[in-house]
Structure 1
């Protein structure tokens, strides 16, 4: 493995929420540093990755962007399994996306399937549209506090707080590892870097190790 591709840990992230809240745009901004104003609806799941540094250690984030439509819910739920972390996203300009958070949260906690240890960041997206805001920051903070979640507001367009949303969530997962709250010997969305195969998005290859890994199904 080349020096540039080495990393201490791999974390599996999922991004969930209603259709149109900006999940795909958040992932694209984080992994590719660009904003795509017109984005096709996600069909099933999309995947990307990026390396971040926490406590002087390189950590690779595998990010799975899941479709928000009810028609794909049975498909996307299978990708929740073993997730180390989830970004639970709503649109601050659409009240209904906030009202649906409890259902999404229940889905994540039920299907991530490792004793409710998944780290969840509540993300209020589209802060670049303050004149259209209908969900206050205080409401987001209250929902997060009542449900034991971290909270941040972002704009996938500007890109206010996008990196922070992912990196802060990864830092919380890393903290749990250091505290011994995550057992690395069990099959979760956390893998030590030594010998872990990764997808190469540039040449389109996917290692059989990843294909056979129980945490990537």
Structure 2
């Protein structure tokens, strides 16, 4: 009897069966931007070490959080950035590779909030990307932190932005 076109090909017994390899976890790249001394590095260090330290480097190397430690089973790659003008090209390149931005400002220094527009313009020039606006240092701000606070209401209308208030020091959000 002749084989038909719909029959399965015969596998050579010497050839091992192909096992399904597990899929590599997806990598989510997050860049942390903001003015100098707003707490970018402290937020990252607190997240990774699960405690606050007064002594942190000025900028961290790229931080990787393994897939098994994330809720979504993805590798989270966090890029800390410098606020120095001399590092602008490096920051620009990191922005282009990122999947999301954490734009950090300091609740105790209103000028860092006022400069958010400059940062948002910089981001928009490089890539359309979700931006989480992070109001840091709520632990030392006299205003009670709420997502409906005065800063949040001023940025809520911005496209692709999501405001949060937190503290690297005492892990509040």
The bucket for the TM-score relative to the shorter chain is 0.7 to 0.9
Aligned to 2:71: 53
Q: 2:123 — aligned with what?
A: 108
Mapped contact 2:45–2:56 kept (Cα < 8 A): no
Which of 68, 84, 89 does residue 74 from structure 1 map onto?
A: 89
1:9 aligns with 2:20: no
- Counterparts of 1:141 and 1:105 in 2: how far apart (Å)? 15
Answer 1 or 2: which has greater helix percent: 1
For residues 34 and 152 of structure 1, the distance between their equivalents in structure 2, rounded to whole angstroms, comes to 20
2:11 is matched with which residue? none
2:138 to 103, 127, 134: 127
Structure showing the higher strand proportion among its residues: 1
Bigger Rg over Cα: 2
Instruction: Note the aligned Cα RMSD (angstroms).
Output: 2.3
The TM-score, its normalising length taken from structure 2, stands at 0.75
Determine whether 1:157 maps to 2:172.
Answer: no
Shift of 1:30: 1.3
1:145, CA displacement in angstroms? 1.1
User: How far is 1:123 from its partner?
Assistant: 0.5
Query: 1:69 offset after TM fit, Å?
Result: 2.2
Which residue number in structure 2 is paired with residue 141 of structure 1?
Answer: 152
| Alpha-carbon displacement from aligned partner over 1:1-28 (angstroms, at most 9, x marks no partner) | xxxxx76321010000000000001111
Could you list the runs of 5+ residues in structure 1 that have no partner in the other structure? 1-5, 162-217
With structure 1 as the length reference, what TM-score do the two structures score? 0.61
Tell me the SS of whatever aligns to 2:98. coil
Q: Distance in 2 between matches of 1:104 and 1:25?
A: 20
| Aligned counterparts of 1:156 and 1:7: Cα–Cα separation in 2 | 31
Q: For each residue in 1:152-177, what CA deviation from the matched residue of structure 2 results, as whole angstroms up to 9, or x when unmatched?
A: 1010010113xxxxxxxxxxxxxxxx
Deviations along 1:76-104, whole A, 9 cap, x unmatched? 21111131100010000001111110111
Q: Does the Cα contact within 8 Å between 2:27 and 2:77 map onto a contact in 1? A: yes
What residue ranges of structure 2 are gaps of 5+ in the alignment?
A: 1-22
- Could you tell me how far 1:138 is from its partner in structure 2? 2.6
2:113 aligns to what SS in structure 1?
helix
